[in-house]
Amino acid sequence: MAKGDDALARKRNKVRRKRMRSSENAVSARVAGIIASKRRRKSGKRRACESMCFSLPTPEDPFNDRHGKKRKGDDEPTGDAPAAAAAGRDESKKKKKKKKKDSSAKKQPAREAAAAAAAANAKSREKDGAEYDRPSKFLVVCLNAIRDAAASEDGGGGGIHDTGSWGVELWNCCSAAPPTHVLDTSGECATREKTAWLVSTACDIVARKEKLGVVVSCPFLLYLVPSQEKAVQVRSICKPLKSLGIHSVSLHPGASIEHQISGLKSCEPEFLISTPERLLELIALKAIDISGVSMLVIDGLKCFTDLNVSDKLCSIRDAILSNPQITIFSDPSDRRVAALATKLVGGKKITRLCTNDSVTSRGAFITQKIHICPSKDQKAPKKQLQISCAIKICLFACHGKLMGFSNMQVKEILEQILNDHARKTAKVLLVTASDHEAQHLSSSLKLQNCTVTNDSHGNSFTICSSVGLINVLVKDWENITTANFEDFDTVLVADLPPSVDEYIEILAGASCHVLVGEVHCIFSSADALLAKPLSEVLTSCGQVVPEFLRKLASS
């Protein structure tokens, strides 16, 4: 009778169970291999790959029958054996010493490699410091985090990368050694995109400092805002950075001061967003220390002046013992904030950043005054010029027969500069129409009680007096592009340019690294074609247009 499928299955399972119960197959293949190797070792039969485990034959056991085992009494040498044993021990000691030398020789390259690695690490740190000339990938990560968070909330944040040129310029100013103060006159307050670039720049600087092993004091960034609403807005921009290890705290009158004190005790934020009033209260209670702040942002300087908290801003600035990098956002149409901004930055040079090329933003805080040029027979009226300590730009129209009158006006201006820069050295850039006029002007210029010294090249001269010293560099309109306006406190143009666009470029270039300044322009009848565009520039900048210039523009 044929067997059914069940009987065949039972038979197969029985064979499998029997096979599994066997000693070698009851374990895994690895364990079975170990067991087989142990059996071969005990029997004295080993594989070729295991030859290193064999006991070597000796004269006492040439056929290795004892498998390396010693007999009783072999350890006690007799006769000449002690000398041979002693010689063997000496040889073994020599071999051990040789092995130690070899091991030390092998370790020596390892030590050299470790020293080379340490030197390479130090070079990499120096390289990181030297290559501090471009933003890192971490800055882009911070910007993307802020953009994604804004897109998930209200669909915004898409314009963050559109302001990349402005952001890179800001990064260059903040990362310079030493850092440069920044003045933005594009609007009254900072936009979301500019705030994102600013806090991301601070994150990048913190990350680089920590990579170089520099201890970063907290708070690193102090962001002053005029209202609670603005503090909440800035805090929402900084909130996505928490996942990247950057903590931010907002302080405003909307929350109880006890709650804020307890919160400051539990954490040390890198970024601090606060209103001036609440910050001063917490400083008085010693709840926070801002003496080590590295970056200070004043968002909306005009709003602070409208709230009459200028003295509180100065108190906060005095509480910071270090020299922080200061970024100011201000309305270009309000000139009242110019004096406050100058006091906050300590009279140092700044860098203007604008997202628009309007003459209003580029020429903000610069007073422009137009004076009519009298005829040759008239007596030149003496006008006392109120010249700023930061910059003075004086523009004169000098044509043909009026050259002598122009020299007299230049003389008066330079005398006034000497008086304003008492016990200081002023640097003046003098711009003329041509080299011939420049040489004539420098040779005929003689001030009372002063000494004029020309250099060998004839393109500069020095005015020395008991009051002060002026270094004057002469440039004509063709070579004006090679002049660096940042190196000069005063720009004096002896010939009015033929186009108002060149006048705007002079105005923007000279005010690029200063806060406040004045422009004095003496207008002559030969410049009648510039009356209308010049009056439009004055109107757009909120300046007073003289009556004679208004009549010429309307005619």
pLDDT digits (tens, 9 = 90+) for 358-369: 888 888 888 787
Domain spans of the chain? 137-151+162-356, 366-377+400-553
User: Residue 34's pLDDT is what?
Assistant: 76
- Decide if 137-151+162-356 and 366-377+400-553 have a common fold: yes
| Cβ contacts of 264 within 8 Å, gap of 6 or more | 249, 282, 287, 288
> At 509, which amino acid appears?
G
d(CA 317, CA 323): 10
Most confident of 183-192, 377-386, 396-405: 183-192
Q: What is the mean pLDDT of residues 171-194?
A: 89
Tokens matching residue 270: 């890198």
pLDDT digits (tens, 9 = 90+) for 241-271: 998 889 999 999 999 999 999 888 888 899 9
User: Residue 96's pLDDT is what?
Assistant: 56
User: Residue 279's pLDDT is what?
Assistant: 94
Q: What is the CATH number of domain 366-377+400-553?
A: 3.40.50.300
pLDDT digits (tens, 9 = 90+) for 7-66: 888 888 888 887 766 654 556 667 777 777 777 777 766 555 555 555 667 777 777 666
Reported as a pLDDT band with limits 50, 70 and 90, residue 132 is low
Distances (CA, A) of 486 to 1, 115, 184, 314: 113, 46, 17, 27
- The pTM assigned to this predicted structure is 0.68
Top pLDDT among 421 and 225 is at: 225
For 461-480, what is the HEC assignment? EEEECCCCEEEEEEEECCCH
Domain 137-151+162-356 CATH superfamily: P-loop containing nucleotide triphosphate hydrolases (3.40.50.300)
Q: Would the pLDDT of 169 be above 60? A: yes
- Judge contact between 463 and 430, C-beta under 8 A: no
Tokens matching residue 155: 């669909």
